[in-house]
């Protein structure tokens, strides 16, 4: 059975997570407080957990490291390059600068080079674009891609360490969890004591996300057992999430309590998402017809919302209608790109065979 059929629920889980991120960014950029049951931070972390589950499986199937990296690149890079280059070129027409000034501005080239190199923090803005928005960043979602790649590249190192410790897989995972939680706790303490936003930003970078990612790896490793005990695992994790939510309200009263939250919440959240993903398929035929364009939604939504804000759409018309149209635009554009790129790949593949 193919992986797509085995984990068919994972597609609509991804859609839910992508929607959580879109709603959070829409609220941030428009100033409208929209409520969604999953926070943006948790959604991003769970995305990493799903990646850990799938990517570890991909690494085990790959014949060598080169094939593993090539497989990841084919999945991640095309839409990423498309949105970076598309925004860089297309937004020349909405910039406050003239076309000539725009393309000759050093900020344009810095944006293009730094974002294509996954170093978006070096130049998140384009010259004369979105200057009057709450943030002039073109795409606030791109920071996760450098973390994603670092997590991908950590898998071969992880497997090497496991071999060095004579297959002590679970113990190595436990060590990663401990290091990840200690890192996040240290950064949070630095942020609380100094008020420097840099520490808060660093807290959810690569090391801070490892507990999410390697929970996915751990679940895949014990997939047979988790599948056989889905009900027990999901109930335990839901209780753990409820307790973590209670702890969150009391933070940062105790550093130990904060560390426990940073350990329990990611593990429980990823486990619930994966238990749903491997359970009996729901809406299977619908998902198969639509396909999975949640990754494209994640990449494309931020500049689309920025355009809506630029044109003052959320403030001139019915807010609910504008939000619905924005969500629809994000989905339709993502769907068109996804289907178009799939058709292009099939055409190239068939052309090579002929």
Domain count, the chain: 1
| CB contact set of 138 (below 8 Å; sequence gap of 6+) | 87, 91, 111, 124, 125, 126, 129, 130, 302, 303, 306
Distance (Å, whole) CA 227 – CA 218: 13
- Residues 130-167 pLDDT 10s: 998 999 999 999 999 999 999 999 999 999 999 888 87
* Residues paired with residue 125 on neighbouring β-strands, in sequence order: 137
Distance (Å, whole) CA 235 – CA 61: 32
Q: Which of 40-44, 112-116, 147-151, 313-317 has the lowest mean pLDDT?
A: 313-317
- What are the tokens at 142? 């791109």
What range does the domain containing 326 cover? 3-353
Q: 353: pLDDT confidence band, cut at 50, 70 and 90?
A: low
Mean model confidence pLDDT for the chain: 88
Per-residue pLDDT at 4 exceeds 50: no
Residue written as tokens 């084919």?
Answer: 74
- Predicted confidence at residue 1, as pLDDT, reads 41
What angle is formed at CA 117 by the lines to CA 303 and CA 44, rounded to 5 degrees?
55
Helix (H) or strand (E) holding 79: helix 65-90
- What are the tokens at 226? 């988790």
Average pLDDT of the segment spanning 193-222: 92
**pTM across the whole model:** 0.90
Helix (H) or strand (E) holding 118: none
- Predicted confidence at residue 177, as pLDDT, reads 95
Per-residue pLDDT at 255 exceeds 90: no
Given 3-state DSSP classes, what are the helix, strand and coil percentages for the chain, each rounded to the nearest 5?
80, 0, 20
Q: 318: pLDDT confidence band, cut at 50, 70 and 90?
A: confident
Choice between 127 and 1, residue whose per-residue pLDDT is larger: 127
Closest CA to 135 of 306, 297, 301, 19: 306
Q: 82: pLDDT confidence band, cut at 50, 70 and 90?
A: very high
Closest CA to 267 of 173, 147, 150: 173
Distance (Å, whole) CA 188 – CA 255: 10
Q: Which of 189-203, 243-257, 284-298, 299-313 has the lowest mean pLDDT?
A: 243-257
Sign of the dihedral defined by the CA atoms of residues 278, 281, 285, 290, in that order: negative
Cα dihedral 113, 114, 118, 123 in deg (nearest 10)? -140
| CB contact set of 238 (below 8 Å; sequence gap of 6+) | 268, 272
Helix (H) or strand (E) holding 215: helix 206-221
Do 180 and 49 touch, CB atoms closer than 8 A?
no
């Amino acid at each position: 059975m193919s992986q797509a059929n085995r984990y068919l629920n994972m597609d609509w889980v991804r859609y839910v997570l992508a929607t959580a991120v879109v709603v959070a960014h829409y609220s941030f950029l428009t100033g409208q407080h929209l409520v969604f049951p999953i926070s943006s931070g948790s959604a991003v972390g769970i995305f990493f957990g799903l990646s850990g589950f799938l990517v570890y499986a991909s690494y085990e199937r790959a014949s060598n490291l080169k094939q593993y990296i090539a497989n990841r690149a084919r999945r991640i890079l095309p839409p990423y390059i498309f949105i970076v280059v598309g925004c860089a070129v297309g937004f020349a027409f909405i910039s406050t600068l003239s076309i000539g000034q725009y393309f000759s501005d050093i900020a344009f080239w810095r944006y293009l080079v730094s974002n294509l190199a996954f170093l978006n923090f070096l130049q998140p803005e384009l010259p004369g674009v979105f200057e009057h928005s709450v943030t002039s960043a073109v795409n606030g979602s791109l920071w996760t891609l450098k973390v994603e790649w670092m997590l991908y590249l950590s898998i071969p190192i992880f497997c090497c360490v496991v071999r060095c410790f004579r297959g002590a897989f679970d113990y190595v995972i436990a060590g990663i969890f401990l290091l990840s939680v200690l890192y996040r706790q240290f950064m949070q303490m630095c942020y609380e004591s100094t008020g420097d936003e840099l520490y808060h930003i660093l807290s959810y970078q690569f090391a801070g996300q490892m507990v999410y990612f390697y929970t996915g790896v751990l679940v895949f490793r014990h997939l047979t057992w988790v599948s056989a005990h889905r009900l027990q695992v999901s109930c335990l994790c839901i209780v753990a999430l409820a307790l973590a939510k209670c702890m969150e309200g009391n933070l940062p009263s105790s550093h130990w309590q904060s560390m426990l939250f940073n350990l329990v919440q990611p593990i429980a959240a990823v486990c619930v998402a994966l238990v749903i993903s491997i359970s009996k398929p729901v809406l299977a035929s619908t998902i198969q017809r639509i396909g999975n364009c949640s990754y494209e939604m994640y990449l494309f939504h931020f500049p689309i919302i920025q355009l809506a804000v630029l044109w003052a759409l959320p403030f001139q018309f019915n807010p609910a209608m504008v939000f619905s149209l924005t969500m629809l635009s994000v989905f339709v554009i993502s769907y068109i790109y996804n289907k178009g790129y799939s058709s292009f790949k099939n055409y190239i593949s068939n052309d090579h065979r002929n």
